[in-house]
Amino acid sequence: MENNVKIARIQANLTQQQLAEKIGVTRQTISLIEKGKYNPTLKLCLDICYAVHKTLDEIFWVEKESGMK
């Protein structure tokens, strides 16, 4: 799944490691989410949103046609 985690993370001035520590996951998980290779649970999505001060919509919303790879 495509998402805007990477953009939001850079805007919040965080590295993958810092974001990972903030949420309590490993850096690899953040990396996989950014690449769209891991489908996070809603709870983790929310944690990411809180950490970068964005809404779910801004980070994870994708239009129906382009979203499904």
Partner 1 sequence: MKKIKDERLILKNLQNVRTAYIIQTIGILGILGYDLFTKGMEGMRQNPLWIVFMITTIVSVYLSMNISVDHESSEKSPKKGTVLSLLILTAISVIIGIAVNFTNGFGILDGLIMGGIIFVCGLIPILYIRYLRIKRQEENLDE
DSSP 24-68: TS-HHHHHHHHHT-S---HHHHHHHHHHHT--HHHHH---HHHH-
Number of shown-chain residues binding partner 1 (CB under 8 A): 11
- For the bound state, the minimum distance from the C-beta of residue 63 to partner 1, rounded and expressed in Å, comes to 26
Nearer to partner 1, 14 or 44 (CB): 44
First to last CA, the chain: 7
Nearer to partner 1, 8 or 23 (CB): 23
Binding to partner 1 (CB under 8 A): which residues in 22-61?
A: 24-26, 28-29, 32, 38, 40-41, 43-44
Distance CA 48, CA 36 (A): 14
- For the bound state, the minimum distance from the C-beta of residue 41 to partner 1, rounded and expressed in Å, comes to 6
